[in-house]
Amino acid sequence: MTRPLRNVTDGVRLRTCALLLSAILVLAGAIHPAAAQDAPRITVTRVGLSTDTIALGDRFELEVAVRLTPASVAFLPDSILGRGFEPFGAVTWTSTALDDGGVEVTATYPLIAFEVGTVEVPEFEVYAADAGESARAGMALGEEPVGSFGTFVDNVEMVPSARLRTVPTQQIWVASVLLLDDQEHAIAPRPPADVAGGDRNWLATVMALVFGAALLGVTAVSLRDWAVARNATPPVPAPSAQASALQALDDLLASELLGTGRTRDFFARSSDIARRYVESFDAQWGPAWTGTELMHGLGHRASTKPIPAPDPRPLRDEVTAAEAVKFGGVRPDSGASEEHVRRVRDWIAAVPEEGE
């Protein structure tokens, strides 16, 4: 079936929802560890755009598929906002029952572009909670696998079983509708009406043809030699994940984010850099994992099999601190913020690269 949802998304309320949900999850995990492990889960299984290139003013769609465990209800944002595009209508969804009792929900967000160049659909969160708990809170009705997102945002503290997943960023190229070739063709000069006649200097014509052929031959040989030399040049190897992470942290320290009071953006970037680096340890770790899950996976792998990394606990503490700033009201001063990034950098730099 297909259902429309409410077509209003408030960025401030979404961040408040994520903050409250994070706090509830921490308390639930501390008080009832077993219940936290058995809580309903949601997994992002597929994300994609309807096309990779469109013209200015054209419509396109973002499709997100999530898998729910049995007796769970999903809460999906009603619309998505970002730079260079805007919603073209309310989100719609379809659901498919799975053999294990779960449900796969596919949500479609209609969008329209109004800025030329690369347009980025930013990452956002989707949520899931226990179906019975959601129904008692007035967030879900009957057997529907998708509940009311607005009611969930306003009353997230009523569903401590809620869990979230992040939908990664997507990019699309928006081309201009102007065709410059057609405009230039309309003013192109016409060739001469007659370039041959009885007064032509045939000796000069023959010499021009001979020298033209010689010039063409020299050009062809030069191009062939250049192509051979170009193909013989060995390709420059791509930087390693460690080198990319260290360079990104150096760039972050050199940025003006702290000087302009953007402490939250500073810690959000440090958390993202650490996440991307840790994901390079295992191909199964991806953007859909939360920072807590990544750090748990790193610690578990370090305890069960050798990995090329030092003790993961210091990095876990830094990522946890960054998440507290990113989703909460913690705002360290500039000195503490820079020390945080240096500790993350020291941990990554201590990881031995392959061949060492």
User: What is the tens place of the pLDDT at every residue in 260-296?
Assistant: 888 889 888 888 888 888 887 777 777 777 777 777 7
User: Is 46 a domain residue?
Assistant: yes
Q: What is the pLDDT of residue 183?
A: 42
Question: Which has the higher per-residue pLDDT, 351 or 234?
Answer: 351
Report the CATH number that the domain containing residue 163 is assigned in CATH: 2.60.40.10
User: Is 306 a domain residue?
Assistant: yes
Start-to-end Cα distance in the chain? 56
Burial 44-65 (b: 16+ CB within 10 A, else e): beebebeeeebeeebebebebb
Q: Which domain holds residue 327?
A: 241-349
User: What is the tens place of the pLDDT at every residue in 250-261?
Assistant: 998 898 888 888
pLDDT at 304 over 70: no
pLDDT at 136 over 60: yes
- What is the rounded distance in angstroms from the CA atom of residue 10 to the CA atom of residue 98? 33
User: Is 45 a domain residue?
Assistant: yes
User: What is the tens place of the pLDDT at every residue in 55-101?
Assistant: 998 999 999 999 999 999 999 999 998 899 999 988 999 999 999 98
Task: Tell me: do 31 and 143 sit in the same domain.
Answer: yes
Q: Directed axis angle between helix 313-327 and helix 334-349, to 10°?
A: 140
User: What is the tens place of the pLDDT at every residue in 32-59?
Assistant: 443 444 456 899 999 999 999 999 989 9
User: Is 73 a domain residue?
Assistant: yes
* Of 92-106, 182-196, 257-271, 321-335, minimum mean pLDDT range: 182-196
User: Is 144 a domain residue?
Assistant: yes
Query: Which residues are within 8 A (CB) of 280 and not within 5 positions of it... i.e. 6 or more apart?
Result: 241
Query: Which residues are within 8 A (CB) of 64 and not within 5 positions of it... i.e. 6 or more apart?
Result: 44, 46, 47, 76, 106, 107, 109, 126, 167
User: What phi and psi values does residue 94 have, to the nearest 5 degrees?
Assistant: -130, 155
Which of 125, 149, 175 is a domain's end point? 175
Task: Tell me: do 253 and 171 sit in the same domain.
Answer: no
80 exposed, middle or buried (CB, 10 Å; 0-12, 13-18, 19+)?
buried
* Mean pLDDT, the chain, whole residue set: 80
User: Position 55: which residue type?
Assistant: A
- Domain count for the chain, please give it: 2
Strands 53-55 and 170-175: parallel
CA atoms within 13 A on the CB side of 119: 30
Task: Tell me: do 156 and 262 sit in the same domain.
Answer: no
Task: Tell me: do 245 and 126 sit in the same domain.
Answer: no
